[in-house]
Amino acid sequence: MILSADRIRLAAAPADKEAAIRAAAQLLVESGAIDAAYADSMLRREQEADTFLGNGIAIPHGQRGDRGLIRQTGIAVLQVPQGVRWNGEDTAHLVVAIAAQGDEHIAVLRRLTDVLGESDLADRLARTGDKAEILRALDPDAPAADAAPAPQAA
């Protein structure tokens, strides 16, 4: 699974965009998806082109030439309820760090475009206290909340 609960951090309060990117990248480092140097690649990529998509969502990712720093495709989400200034007037509430070796992340990007089109959903995800809600919204392979087997009567 390219996105899991251990790659989601709720209620973060980074000081600025760089701190937000580093914190999101750290979730990928801790899960073994990337080498720590990939965070620098993400920052360099951000200098080349703004990764803010709109509706409070940014998708920092590294430079294509640094894919060797990716151990496995992974996505991490840093939720910033109070927001972090991205560029100019933009404020990010969901920082979705992407480390992709191939195209495995495309399904999550498609889900992100759905979230972009639904401002109520984007706002809810920016403030939820439930990692599972973010996981279900972004990962099409995430188990549904009601997928657990019902307890057996004794």
Question: What six digits make up the tokens of 4?
Answer: 């899991």
For residues 153 and 123, which has the higher predicted lDDT (pLDDT)?
123
For residues 142 and 114, which has the higher predicted lDDT (pLDDT)?
114
Q: Which amino acid is at 102?
A: G
Alpha helices by DSSP H, the chain = 17-30, 38-48, 106-117, 119-127, 131-138
Residue 60 has pLDDT above 70, yes or no: yes
- pLDDT level of residue 88 (50, 70, 90 thresholds): confident
Which tens digits make up the pLDDT trace of 36-47?
Answer: 999 999 999 999
Query: For the chain, which residues make up each domain, given as ranges?
Result: 5-141
Segment 58-69 mean pLDDT? 94
Question: What six digits make up the tokens of 92?
Answer: 């990010």
What is the dotted CATH code of the domain comprising 5-141?
A: 3.40.930.10
Which tens digits make up the pLDDT trace of 109-131?
Answer: 888 888 888 999 999 999 999 99
Q: Rounded distance, CA 7 to CA 136, Å?
A: 13
Closest C-alpha among 42, 40, 34, 36 to residue 62: 42
pLDDT, residue 146, reads: 42
Q: Rounded distance, CA 55 to CA 52, Å?
A: 9
Question: Beta strand 91-99 with 52-54: parallel, antiparallel or unpaired?
Answer: unpaired
Q: What is the mean pLDDT of the chain?
A: 90
Q: Rounded distance, CA 47 to CA 51, Å?
A: 9
